[in-house]
């Protein structure tokens, strides 16, 4: 049944005005947080989402040798893409529903990793935090602005819970270089950033004249489809919703911006203190439709002056033939070995690889994604600046070890919700502008959209399905 704009605004108005305390979020005792592992002990870890990307991060956590895997949870447990992980950890207890996992063995779990589709991040994360479990959740933090806001509130409510968003480059060379260069005054007075991800995406080639969701198909025997849907409104199963295909759809994923933005813009966002934008404008949306992401998008984000820093305009480009104009002296677009694979293949575009160009009043920088470091361009200017560059410290731990060490109280996470949340909300606003195909004016103080009541209601999104409401009362 279609939802009218009037009904949508009425149904979501209350949800955008505030949050309440109730239900599961008040029943946890402080002792839940204080069961710390011994000095030489390992973190008892549960993995939620164990195939595809989940399997990759499970391997990364295993390499740290800092955790015991005590539970595996996946709505498609036993499917081909989960069997490798199951075989690696035969002694871990297996579940298809995270709620049943916690009902049975909450006391045995110290921390969780969450590598499920974007739309399902929120309920699993807040449920875990309410039980005192440290949380590592893949990027972006959640699918809606309001869900991210609630996750940040939960982090304040449960300050002894370590949180980490999975933008792994935020613990590598890119993070430490950007921080050192800002502190040394090398990166200053930034006025513009272009960011781009121009590799082919899963939905490229789909029919943009779509009028309805794809037809229902039989649910695979291994899949608990109802639990997969989580708090999202009901959809019939179709193979184009499952596995990585969920990234294509507004109802489930965050498109190219949400998928790659956190790997390209994370350090600029944090160390330039960008916060939330005042305006978001879709400059180009090729193949715009109501269901899945455009074939190409150009989106402009305007950030105001911050203290002594000038306003910044970030322009995002995705789509195969939608590259930004490059500055003089850019040089080659070489594939950076630090950029991980996507479905086993490097994310390499024909003309330009994922990355960014940063323009300040005196210098121009180019950089890639993930752990890729910045270069000053052109080469002659880089040579001139060599003696002025500060020493960049080495990372004491990668992103996965950093999280587990934080669980043990030995480090602080580098991408906690207080840092990753506003970054994720930038992408939520960008996706709203894509979906609505309208510019957004945003009040940073009230966190409301001022020029469009329908867009303002979209900050919250559609109400959760029956039975999932309590997750939204933090």
Structural domain harbouring 343: 171-395
Flag whether 274 is in a domain.
yes
Q: Coil, strand, or helix at residue 421?
A: helix
pLDDT higher than 90, residue 441: yes
Flag whether 64 is in a domain.
no
Q: Coil, strand, or helix at residue 164?
A: strand
Q: Mean of the pLDDT values across residues 49-62?
A: 97
Flag whether 123 is in a domain.
no
Gap between the Cα atoms of 327 and 329, Å rounded: 6
φ/ψ (deg, to 5) at 422 = -60, -35
Flag whether 376 is in a domain.
yes
The per-residue pLDDT for range 408-427, each reduced to its tens digit, is 999 999 999 999 999 999 99
Q: How crowded is the C-beta side of 62, counted as CA atoms within 13 Å?
A: 13
* CATH number (domain holding residue 189): 3.30.360
Q: Mean of the pLDDT values across residues 118-124?
A: 98
pLDDT higher than 70, residue 339: no
The answer to whether residues 49 and 67 touch, using CB atoms and an 8 Å cutoff, is: no
**Residue 332 pLDDT level (bands cut at 50, 70, 90):** confident
For strand 93-95 and strand 190-197, is the pairing parallel, antiparallel, or unpaired?
unpaired
Token output for 169: 């480059």
Number of domains in the chain: 1
Flag whether 129 is in a domain.
no
* pTM for the whole structure: 0.91
Flag whether 114 is in a domain.
no
Flag whether 415 is in a domain.
no
Flag whether 104 is in a domain.
no
């Amino acid at each position: 049944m279609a939802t009218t704009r009037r009904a949508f605004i009425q149904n979501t108005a209350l949800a955008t005005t505030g949050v309440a305390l109730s239900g599961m979020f008040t029943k946890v005792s402080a002792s839940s947080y204080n069961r710390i592992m011994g000095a030489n002990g390992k973190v008892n870890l549960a993995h939620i989402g164990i195939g595809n990307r989940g399997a990759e991060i499970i391997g990364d956590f295993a390499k740290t040798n800092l955790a015991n895997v005590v539970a595996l949870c996946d709505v498609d447990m036993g499917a081909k893409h989960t069997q490798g992980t199951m075989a690696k950890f035969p002694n871990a207890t297996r579940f298809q529903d995270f709620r049943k996992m916690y009902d049975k063995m909450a006391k045995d779990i110290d921390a969780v990793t969450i590598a499920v589709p974007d739309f399902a991040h929120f309920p699993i994360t807040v449920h875990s935090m309410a039980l005192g479990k440290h949380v590592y959740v893949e990027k972006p933090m959640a699918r809606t602005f309001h869900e991210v806001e609630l996750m940040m509130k939960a982090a304040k409510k449960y300050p002894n819970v370590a949180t980490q968003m999975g933008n792994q480059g935020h613990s590598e060379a890119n993070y430490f270089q950007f921080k050192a260069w800002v502190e040394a005054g090398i990166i200053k007075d930034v006025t513009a950033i272009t960011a781009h991800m121009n590799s082919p995406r899963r939905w490229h080639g789909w029919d943009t004249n779509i009028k309805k969701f794809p037809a229902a198909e039989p649910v695979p025997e291994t899949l608990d489809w109802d639990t997969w849907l989580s708090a999202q409104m009901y959809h019939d199963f179709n193979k184009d919703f499952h596995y990585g295909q969920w990234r294509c759809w507004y109802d489930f994923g965050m498109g190219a911006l949400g998928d790659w933005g956190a790997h390209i813009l994370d350090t600029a966002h944090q160390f330039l203190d960008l916060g939330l934008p005042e305006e978001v404008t879709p400059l180009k949306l090729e193949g715009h439709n109501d269901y899945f992401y455009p074939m190409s998008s150009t989106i402009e984000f305007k950030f105001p002056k911050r203290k002594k820093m000038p306003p910044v305009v970030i322009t995002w480009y995705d789509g195969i033939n939608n590259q930004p104009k490059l500055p003089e002296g850019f040089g080659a677009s070489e594939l950076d070995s630090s950029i991980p694979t996507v479905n086993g293949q490097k994310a390499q575009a024909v003309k330009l690889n994922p990355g960014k160009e940063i323009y300040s009043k005196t210098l121009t920088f180019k950089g890639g994604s993930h752990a890729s470091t910045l270069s000053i361009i052109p080469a002659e200017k880089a040579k001139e600046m060599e003696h002025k560059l500060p020493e960049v410290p080495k990372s004491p731990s990668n992103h996965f070890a950093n999280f587990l060490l934080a669980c043990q109280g030995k480090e602080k996470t580098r991408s906690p919700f207080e840092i990753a949340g506003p970054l994720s909300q930038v992408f939520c606003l960008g996706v709203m502008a894509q979906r609505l195909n309208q510019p957004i004016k945003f009040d940073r103080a009230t966190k409301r959209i001022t020029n469009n009541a329908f867009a303002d209601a979209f900050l919250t999104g559609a109400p959760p399905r029956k039975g999932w409401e309590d997750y939204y009362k933090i």
